[in-house]
Structure 1
């Protein structure tokens, strides 16, 4: 069991109600995961397992918090946008799950690390398709090569050109960007082609 003196100091500095909670959680983590190493992450105690964060705890003025790094996967409940971990505001030892439940949850967190599974990625909602402005539609229609390339672009590539043109503040700037866009598109260039690796 690897204990960090900075965690001792952290617990000692906290309010009287928090010290027994923090000491209990620390002991439960080490009992369930003897290989756990202590560290300070984001100014609070964390428990590392095989180089990855297993769980962490923190104490505040009127409550403590304890949570697993991959909480939703460990507890099987949807992750809430909260800094309170998976157990809400902990004001006393009675607010914690029993020792067997804690050990089981710590075991699940360890298994996620042992198996090398990655956290599921949050699905982003795709942006709606972008409608090119009339002046771009007309300019592309007048240049069949540019029209063909533009139609073959991915939605995000079309969006970059459309946004670049419509964000122009002055009519002269917009006209200049429109002409440049049609020229680049006809050459098969994406909007930010200058920055692409050769």
Structure 2
């Protein structure tokens, strides 16, 4: 069962965006990756955490859903889900529900890699 934080639910109640349903579906996919992953509102957006900040949504994106992995450059990404060239962050983008389904395992693998790295260190 997916664990939703009431503050994040309240944020979604006020969230007016054409990608709202897809953002909510990505939210559930991230939370379903590992029972220890939690969520909160940080930087005025839903943020996922486990022993640090994993990822936050770009809430103003309207053409697709963007999920920024704060330290994504450190994470293994064999499926090539994460975009970006910087030294620290990476972004996962989802165009629609079908795109999320195609990328669900890769998304959850990246989240699980974060959890495993935090448990190992």
Sort the TM-score into its range (normalised by shorter chain): 0.7 to 0.9
Question: What RMSD over aligned residues (CA atoms) do the two structures have, in Å?
Answer: 2.7
**Larger RCO: 1 or 2 (CA < 8 Å, sep 6+):** 2
Q: Report deviation, 1:14.
A: 2.4
Q: 1:116-135 residue pairs with structure 2 within 5 A?
A: 116=121
Number of aligned residues:
112
Q: Report deviation, 1:32.
A: 0.6
**Which residue pairs with 1:28 in the alignment?**
29
Residue deviations 1:49-69 (CA, integer Å, cap 9, x gap) = 13x112221321524320222
- Structure 1 residue 40 and structure 2 residue 41: aligned? yes
Q: Which has the higher helix share?
A: 1
Residue deviations 1:142-176 (CA, integer Å, cap 9, x gap) = xxxxxxxxxxxxxxxxxxxxxxxxxxxxxxxxxxx
Q: Report deviation, 1:12.
A: 2.5
User: In terms of mean alpha carbon deviation, does 97-106 or 36-45 score higher?
Assistant: 97-106
- Structure 1 residue 92 and structure 2 residue 96: aligned? yes
User: In terms of mean alpha carbon deviation, does 99-108 or 67-76 score higher?
Assistant: 67-76
TM-score of the pair, normalised by structure 1: 0.48
Q: 1:30-179 residue pairs with structure 2 within 5 A?
A: 30-50=31-51, 52-60=52-60, 62-63=62-63, 64-74=65-75, 75=77, 79-80=84-85, 85-88=90-93, 90-96=94-100, 97-116=102-121
TM-score of the pair, normalised by structure 2: 0.73
Question: Where does the alignment leave 5 or more consecutive residues of structure 2 unmatched?
Answer: none
Distance in 2 between the 1:108 and 1:61 partners?
A: 26
